[in-house]
Amino acid sequence: MKRIVVTGAAGFIGSNLVKGLNQRGIDNIIAVDDLTQGEKFRNLADLKIADYVDAAVFYDLFSQGKYGPVEAVFHEGACSDTMETDGKYMLGNNYTLSCQLFHACQEHGTRLLYASSAATYGGSDTFREDPAFELPLNVYGYSKLLFDQRMRRECGQRLERASASKAGQVVGFRYFNVYGPREQHKARMASVAFHQFNQFAVNGKVELFGEYGGYAAGAQMRDFVFIDDVVAVNLWFLDHPQASGIFNLGTGRAQPFNDIADAVVNAMRRSRGEQALKHEAMVAAGLIEYSDFPESLRGKYQCYTQADLTALRGAGCDHRFTDVQNGVSKYMNCLLGLN
């Protein structure tokens, strides 16, 4: 296989993709990122790459063909902060650069597999890859939707038919709530599982939002997807260059935040040789606490998400996803150094 490029390679999903490629014996990888946040180097330190290129220079150089033949670009580089309000920065980073990358890929015969987001659905109650259900609640979600819309216009029926020539493959992945190893640098944007691990380690309890949006405390539901599954689906499309389109990448199953808390607490208890507890017993013992829903998130928060996997299955991808109980338990063991 020719060279692979991974943008956002020192980030959460990007570094796990590099790891997945390495596990296949692929190390002719150009890693692209911005290491101003220097601690992100840890996500690459144990991986094999051919070169590292700063994001500030990569896109122009790639457009000029400076890196020779490239089989595929996994484009994970983006600002993923849903609370960012600087629209000019968000669109420049997430939309304009992505458009430049797309046109360069088309010119050079390079496949493009890129990160979209379930934030494109925003306030919708239906999570199907259809413009009728795309209602972003923040400028991050809009930046991702705008690029998806551009791809629909540029690629036309190719995306609708989920088929393409090898050189022309374009795939957008609408990631739902991803969790797993190598997200420690994301601070407040890290997964709830990561935050609860640290809460329990320090305070002996975890915290969740209280009642909001017609949902009881901790009962808001999301489609939580384990990072290993995200990598597996990305690599499935690498193996199937005829498949193009915009696809949901979630489990297809919504689970309440309470399920995450239960899995975190019981994984931590097991590591201490303590017996697993049911949810009600955890609450009664003060191991799970609820706080008032933040005013800053009202009207900007998705209380329910569940990926419709019809398009993914229609493309031929039959990957079976890990549920919260097993995925979070595996993640906790990783954070505890037990894997």
Q: Which residues are catalytic?
A: 140, 186
Tokens linked to 151? 């791809």
**Contact, 104 vs 110, CB < 8 A?**
yes
In Å, how far from its chain's centre is CA 236?
16
- End-to-end C-alpha distance for the chain, whole angstroms: 31
Strand-strand pairing, 29-33 and 51-54: parallel
Can you tell me whether residue 155 is helix, strand or coil? Answer: helix
Residue 74 makes CB contacts below 8 A (sequence gap 6+) with: 4, 5, 6, 7, 14, 17, 113, 114, 234
Burial of 96 (0-12, 13-18, 19+ CB in 10 A): middle
Distance CA 6, CA 76 (A): 7
Percent of the chain that is helix, strand, coil (3-state, to 5):
45, 20, 40
Burial of 160 (0-12, 13-18, 19+ CB in 10 A): middle
Closest by alpha carbon to 312, among 223, 211, 244?
Answer: 244
Alpha-carbon torsion (260, 263, 269, 275), positive or negative: positive
